[in-house]
Structure 1
Amino acid sequence: MELEAIPGVGAKTADALRSLDDPEAALERGDVAAVAGAPGVSEGRAARIVRNAIRARHDDPGGFLATDRAREVYDRVLALLQERAVTDYASQRLRTFYPSATDSRIREANEFAERAMARDPDPAVLDALVGVEPLSRPDGLAVRDRCLATTDAERYSAARETFPELSVEVVEDARGLADLARGYSTVVALDEAFVGVEVDGDVRVEPDALDRPEEVVPERVLSFFATNRDRIRAAIEVHQTAGLDAGVDLDELDAALAQLESDGSVAGDDELDRLSVAVDDLDAAVSTAESVANDRLREAIQEQDVTIEGADLLSLVERGAGVDSLLSRELADEYAEAVAAARDHLVDALDLKSGEAEVAKRAFGDEPTFPVEHDAEAVSRLREDLTAARDRRAAERKRDLASTLADLREPTRDLVNDALDLDVELAIARFANDFDCVLAERGGRGFDIDAGRSPLLDVAFADVDPVDYGVDGVALLSGVNSGGKTSTLDLVAVVVVLAHMGLPVPAESARVPEVEELHYYAKSQGTLDAGAFEATLRDFAGLTEGAARKLVLVDELESITEPGASAKIVAGILEELHEAGASGVFVSHLAGEIRDQCGFGVTVDGIKALGLEDGELVVERSPVKDHLARSTPELIVEKLADGAAADGGDGDDGGRGGAEASKAGFYGRLLEKF
């Protein structure tokens, strides 16, 4: 897919996306986190880019959510899904599920949802997911101990681009290589012309180095794995706990990670550790060795009785001899033992091997002196040898480990991505479990919901009464105040939105119409002024065009103007939608009046009120077909009439009984008006 072909992706954004390792793959799998890693792309924008890429792939024009209330229902449903995600990645990825009218997209999402619903949201797996995050690229990697060298300007530019972590130098000849070798541990020459040239130092002629960047800079691989080590190990735990198939040997990967320090250096190598400690402790060991020698020699001098005859003393003075000559003559053996002790301490303290020990012994000479002092040049040579050995060992270990990890890099990406995608699936599975969901069918003109329960109500889901409701074409829904008309309309909207997202719906079974747009109009707050009323009528006038592809849900449209005019207006709208073949439900307290005004036999359904108990309304939540529901005032008048009639027939107080009978008559006459 061409990046610029994605709606909303211009040349600048496309260039930013191309900085990713594989932008097409990230878009294909809906990886919002990876897309958000592009420069200047926020997570919100990344989700929009991924959604638009999905739409482009399915030739989906979008626009399913046609009103503010429809979008609000989607936002609330999406929030319920996101609440069940463990990782930020899954939360963002869920935003790429959107209601669509395109069959291929819905089928794709259905397949994902079916796999998800088969998952077991094991708490142990959810706990393991806490540590999983998308893999990130290390920043600011710089390698200071080696450089690249070339005589060619074009090759220089290519090397700079291929190896941003290294210094790249232009040289004219072997002398230039020699100069670089004095400043770097390793010099990699890129020109074949240098083959056979002998230069002091670690100079390697590798004309194909540009084709083997991870061998030349193993730190590139090591830094990637060191940066993401904890995330990878968390993904390993997820796979092991969930029993997922992995495209990589998890034990091999974990063992390789165990050899890696957090800074990208190699761990777990005894020889490298020995050399590193020797370099770090060299000065301290030399100082202690001096002390060992001097303490031994001082003790020997204190215990030794030295006798010098006058002629010998005169001879020493005449020759200008000092204490060194005296030591050489009188304490030669003791001095040799002191120096031997110093050498042994240095070798033992640094755990030096035979070749290194020979160099170390030169740090203390055989010529007697007091106090005993180390040979700075010999110590410097020992330091150079140990440092070179350490660096060689480290480079060798880095190359070996990088070679192992390089082969594991792509499988590791898949490992982490699979763990993150599992979280997306588990979020959907948890949503389906928490709200007793099934996948809906699509087809027909209207909808049919069996035992549906809205997750948007402000009560515990277990306490929500199930609702059965179906409509073929357009219908009016009547009912008392607080009887559940709006929540029923919300349920229909939730089921339709989720079904067109390709996700499970909260019902025992459901069928929704194959529509392209959902028009859900919330209850208006008060009567509209003339301008707003006119704008509302213009909105409904537009619904009739292509109405067969629309589902229209309207909550108490009569509140936009006077009741008498409202009934006529709603009746006219219903007539237009009916003739256009639309599907929809209009909630209204004026259902009877609207029915009388309609030019066709509009269906009137009702949420049946069973009465009042202790001042609380009792209703049958599932709408009854072809039933005009009673109003709340009617129920209250009926309750008063029944109560007055009962009171009028009790007791012997004729005066009180007559008053109650009078009230009963009043209430009865009011009741007849309904």
Structure 2
Amino acid sequence: MNAIKLRDIRGIGPSSEKKLVSYFGSEDLVLNALRWSRIAEISSIDGIGERFALSLCRNLHYQETGEQIQDFLKTEDTILIYNRIIDLISKFGNTFYSRSKLYLYFPLPITALAKIIDRQQITRLGLELYTIIEKSANSLTEYDTLLRHLTPLKEHSDSIDTASRAVATTDKSIYNELLSNIIGNYCDILFIEDYEKINDTLAGSDEVIWIGNDYALDDELPNIISVSESQRHEINRILPEKTLTFFAQNKNTLVTIAKLASLLQKLPSDKLANYIGELNLNMLVEMGEELKNLEETGEPSSSLNKEFSRLLNAETSFEMVLEEVLLKLNDELEKMLQDTTIHLEGEKVLALLKGFSAEGQGYSANSSRKDLREYLDDELYLAVEEIINKAENELSSKLYLLDEDTDYLNGIFPRELKFPIDPQDEIKNRFTEYLRKKRSSKAFELKVDLAQKLKGYEDVAMKGLHCMLELDYLLMIGKFAGSYNLALPEFVEGKGTGLYVKEGRNLFLAQQELKGQLKVESVSYALGELGKIANGVNGERIVLLSGANSGGKTTLLVALAVIIILSQMGLPVPCYEAKIGGFKELHYYRKSAGHMNAGAFESTLRTLSQMIMSPNSRLVLADEMESISEPGASARVIAAFLDLLGRSPDSVGIFVTHLAQEISKYCKEGLRIDGIEAKGLSENLELIVDRTPKYYTYARSTPELIVQRLQKISKGTEKEIYSYILEVFDS
């Protein structure tokens, strides 16, 4: 067989192939990821998604092994039961990964017993983990709450915001090098030749990274970060976002992984390796601590550094604080002016009036105010200036500015006789730009430090996610088994085909029992060579199951189908003990509604013929197939098929029927008739039934008990109808 290529897998085209190889590094690594169902990693690739990743894993599995769900589940009815099982188990999972992986664990033919046994080992781990956590200080609810927040990790994004960053140097060779490498794709690269214009050259950038040790810059520039020539090759020194973006956009999932790692550290250390392998839990916990310093936006946390917090607070609250201080300033100024009495001599009033009347002829209001100051007392101007100085000091204090910061704020309120006072736009804009650049530069320094610390955690983060998703799968199986009190079946090789079930339960009824809706009775049953385990059973492979209406015949068939499906999935089953010979095929035919027409009869014959022609060992479960034709013909047809099935030494079958005696008369091969007996009605008018079939016993349908029940609970004319039917039974 030729080695599988990526292009051979159904669903993979040139685009998806390129993405997969780019992510994992090679075609072989992609194939390994698909074989190991690493759905979380695969689905994190842009354009892949979880459902597509699941389908790729399934398609590769089929192409390499030839195994598919239809190999074992041979009828639509068995597929329906399987889907109900999957739906039930999936409710115990918290992630798409665990539910998807369950779909990859479809039941396998007994020829794949080694793989089924391997799956049982994984199931044992899930049961063990469930038990250990149940006994630990931390509840399963804590794990479930965290596991629900796990999502695929997003890839590194090439889209990072560095538009306001520039890299400057006076070295021509470094300049050319920067232009040609990745840094040139993200930052303006500046070559400094004229020192006299250096401030103007750098003024347009919020962050300027100066490479080299020879710069002579204006000390007033707040946004210069120096990087030595030897450090320029460290990408995190210039583009820390290349590292931080991964951690920022995946922060919720990564923090969740760290919290789960912390919980796992509390479990018995001698057991941990079974679930996490060599995963370094300490590193994951440390990663979680470092992520406290990074926001989902990719910016440092405000709590990381006091200076950064101060600058960030000043920048974000400046407009609001300015408005508050300005309102208070004008209130005080208005009050002070209202309380002021001004005395002017006649000549001064005349001069002022002449000045104001000239405004329309080019004489400005500023000139008027200038003249006004000549005629007003200095005390008034000093009082106004004091109020303005006080306001500026209050603004500085509320913004927690340092002396070096206030240099950019001084004069924001004009020192002139004017009401109301407005801030000077030029100074306001200059201060805003200063704060932005200073905060941005400080943030850059912190991001560089964070990137240096976090870069070593990426690999362990990826492994951690895969491990925690596997943990969810194990716990899903463990919770399923624990909630329904399930047990792993034993596959018995070399002792013939068949099955033996002790105290089995119908899983779907047990689901209702968990909700408090009913009480499930356990049933023991056996057939085939393994049936000899049960006392007094000879090992017949073909059984006709007779018995009371609503006695549990269909429930038993479904219970056995579920037990076989779960067994050959490698999962635990709803019974106290189960021994399975194993089958290559499972056929289940549910009861049809009403009488079949000619076309349906022909279709059923063809379906049964295909089943008979199969050379594989099989378990056949059929529910009241007598509706294929009138009773006499049905009995003959069913008997013929039972004879043909009986000739296959590795096949067994249970046929629920109300025609057991009629069918047995036409059978030439040996078969067994078992029965579920009804003993009457209880005080509550419920059918009294022993749900466990009696071997070698024909049990009547006892429809009269159903009629009797209806007669007792009905009234009037309806009651009379049922009474008459009972008379007919007794006649």
Range of TM-score over shorter length:
0.7 to 0.9
Q: 2:674 aligns with which of 593, 596, 605?
A: 605
Q: Deviations over 1:186-220 (max 9, x none)?
A: 4679xx9x998999985989999998555543334
Alignment pair present for 1:489 and 2:557: yes
1:468 partner amino acid: S
2:104 partner amino acid: T
Q: Following TM superposition, by how much is the alpha carbon of 1:110 offset from its aligned partner in structure 2, in angstroms?
A: 1.4
Alignment pair present for 1:448 and 2:500: yes
- Is contact 2:521-2:691 (8 Å) kept? yes
- Is contact 2:501-2:575 (8 Å) kept? yes
SS of residue paired to 1:248: helix
Q: Deviations over 1:93-125 (max 9, x none)?
A: 433331122234323321221111121453432
Tell me which residue corresponds to 1:580: 648
Distance change in 2, residues 1:339/1:613 (3 Å): closer
SS of residue paired to 1:100: coil
Distance change in 2, residues 1:583/1:212 (3 Å): farther
- CA distance in structure 2 between the aligned counterparts of 1:210 and 1:618, rounded to whole angstroms: 86
2:617 partner amino acid: R
Q: Deviations over 1:127-172 (max 9, x none)?
A: 533652214438865333226899999997974xx99xx6466999
- CA distance in structure 2 between the aligned counterparts of 1:177 and 1:561, rounded to whole angstroms: 99
- CA distance in structure 2 between the aligned counterparts of 1:379 and 1:512, rounded to whole angstroms: 83
Q: Following TM superposition, by how much is the alpha carbon of 1:518 offset from its aligned partner in structure 2, in angstroms?
A: 1.4
Q: Deviations over 1:431-483 (max 9, x none)?
A: 21222211112244111111110112385267221111111163123222222
Tell me which residue corresponds to 2:402: 353
Q: Please show how residues 205-220 of structure 1 align to structure 2 within 5 Å.
A: 216-220=238-242
Tell me which residue corresponds to 2:689: 619
Q: Please show how residues 66-81 of structure 1 align to structure 2 within 5 Å.
A: 66-81=74-89
Tell me which residue corresponds to 1:185: 206
- CA distance in structure 1 between the aligned counterparts of 2:708 and 2:340, rounded to whole angstroms: 124
Alignment pair present for 1:460 and 2:506: no
Distance change in 2, residues 1:36/1:636 (3 Å): closer
Q: Bigger CA drift: 12-21 or 409-418?
A: 12-21
Q: 1:629 aligns with which of 674, 690, 699?
A: 699
Tell me which residue corresponds to 2:608: 540
- CA distance in structure 2 between the aligned counterparts of 1:153 and 1:530, rounded to whole angstroms: 86
- CA distance in structure 1 between the aligned counterparts of 2:99 and 2:384, rounded to whole angstroms: 76
Distance change in 2, residues 1:373/1:108 (3 Å): same
- CA distance in structure 2 between the aligned counterparts of 1:248 and 1:5, rounded to whole angstroms: 41
Alignment pair present for 1:274 and 2:304: no
- Is contact 2:206-2:441 (8 Å) kept? no
SS of residue paired to 1:429: helix
Q: Deviations over 1:534-574 (max 9, x none)?
A: 23222222223443332222222222122222222222222
SS of residue paired to 1:515: coil
SS of residue paired to 1:463: coil
- CA distance in structure 2 between the aligned counterparts of 1:374 and 1:262, rounded to whole angstroms: 35
Q: Following TM superposition, by how much is the alpha carbon of 1:502 offset from its aligned partner in structure 2, in angstroms?
A: 0.9
* Percent of pairs with identical residues: 28
Distance change in 2, residues 1:406/1:59 (3 Å): farther
Tell me which residue corresponds to 2:531: none
Q: 1:134 aligns with which of 126, 130, 151?
A: 151
Alignment pair present for 1:125 and 2:192: no
Q: 1:596 aligns with which of 662, 665, 669?
A: 665
Distance change in 2, residues 1:255/1:43 (3 Å): closer
Q: Following TM superposition, by how much is the alpha carbon of 1:73 offset from its aligned partner in structure 2, in angstroms?
A: 0.8
Distance change in 2, residues 1:214/1:590 (3 Å): farther
Aligned length, in residue pairs: 626
- Is contact 1:174-1:197 (8 Å) kept? no
2:500 partner amino acid: D
Distance change in 2, residues 1:107/1:180 (3 Å): farther
- Is contact 1:181-1:203 (8 Å) kept? no
Distance change in 2, residues 1:578/1:212 (3 Å): farther
Q: 1:529 aligns with which of 590, 597, 600?
A: 597
SS of residue paired to 1:548: coil
- CA distance in structure 1 between the aligned counterparts of 2:554 and 2:560, rounded to whole angstroms: 10
Distance change in 2, residues 1:39/1:558 (3 Å): farther
1:352 partner amino acid: L
Q: Please show how residues 506-525 of structure 1 align to structure 2 within 5 Å.
A: 506-525=574-593
Q: Following TM superposition, by how much is the alpha carbon of 1:68 offset from its aligned partner in structure 2, in angstroms?
A: 0.6
- Is contact 1:131-1:231 (8 Å) kept? no
Q: Deviations over 1:303-347 (max 9, x none)?
A: 99999xx9xx9xxxxxx9967889999999999988976775565
- CA distance in structure 1 between the aligned counterparts of 2:427 and 2:7, rounded to whole angstroms: 66
Q: Deviations over 1:508-550 (max 9, x none)?
A: 1112233222111112333333333223222222223443332
SS of residue paired to 2:655: strand
Q: Following TM superposition, by how much is the alpha carbon of 1:71 offset from its aligned partner in structure 2, in angstroms?
A: 0.3
1:470 partner amino acid: A
Q: Please show how residues 544-559 of structure 1 align to structure 2 within 5 Å.
A: 544-559=612-627
SS of residue paired to 2:500: strand
1:450 partner amino acid: K
SS of residue paired to 2:281: coil
- CA distance in structure 2 between the aligned counterparts of 1:171 and 1:143, rounded to whole angstroms: 15
Alignment pair present for 1:252 and 2:286: yes
Tell me which residue corresponds to 1:657: none
Tell me which residue corresponds to 1:565: 633
- Is contact 1:469-1:623 (8 Å) kept? yes
Tell me which residue corresponds to 1:50: 57
Q: 1:396 aligns with which of 437, 445, 448?
A: 445
CA RMSD of superposed structures (Å): 5.1
Q: Bigger CA drift: 232-241 or 620-629?
A: 232-241
Distance change in 2, residues 1:85/1:210 (3 Å): farther
SS of residue paired to 2:640: helix
- CA distance in structure 1 between the aligned counterparts of 2:321 and 2:576, rounded to whole angstroms: 79
Distance change in 2, residues 1:152/1:516 (3 Å): farther
Q: Please show how residues 327-366 of structure 1 align to structure 2 within 5 Å.
A: 345=394, 347-357=396-406
Q: 1:99 aligns with which of 107, 119, 133?
A: 107
Q: Deviations over 1:265-319 (max 9, x none)?
A: 2121210122233445667878959959x969x99x9799999xx9xx9xxxxxx
- Is contact 2:314-2:435 (8 Å) kept? yes
Q: Bigger CA drift: 528-537 or 68-77?
A: 528-537
2:73 partner amino acid: L
Alignment pair present for 1:424 and 2:473: yes
Tell me which residue corresponds to 1:144: 163
- Is contact 2:95-2:472 (8 Å) kept? yes
SS of residue paired to 2:565: helix
- CA distance in structure 1 between the aligned counterparts of 2:598 and 2:151, rounded to whole angstroms: 54
Tell me which residue corresponds to 1:110: 120
Tell me which residue corresponds to 1:651: none
- CA distance in structure 2 between the aligned counterparts of 1:460 and 1:330, rounded to whole angstroms: 92
Q: Deviations over 1:608-647 (max 9, x none)?
A: 44455566543322223333333426989999xxxxxxxx
Q: Following TM superposition, by how much is the alpha carbon of 1:174 offset from its aligned partner in structure 2, in angstroms?
A: 6.8
Q: Following TM superposition, by how much is the alpha carbon of 1:412 offset from its aligned partner in structure 2, in angstroms?
A: 3.3
SS of residue paired to 2:437: helix
- CA distance in structure 2 between the aligned counterparts of 1:391 and 1:489, rounded to whole angstroms: 71
Q: 1:477 aligns with which of 544, 565, 568?
A: 544
SS of residue paired to 2:566: helix
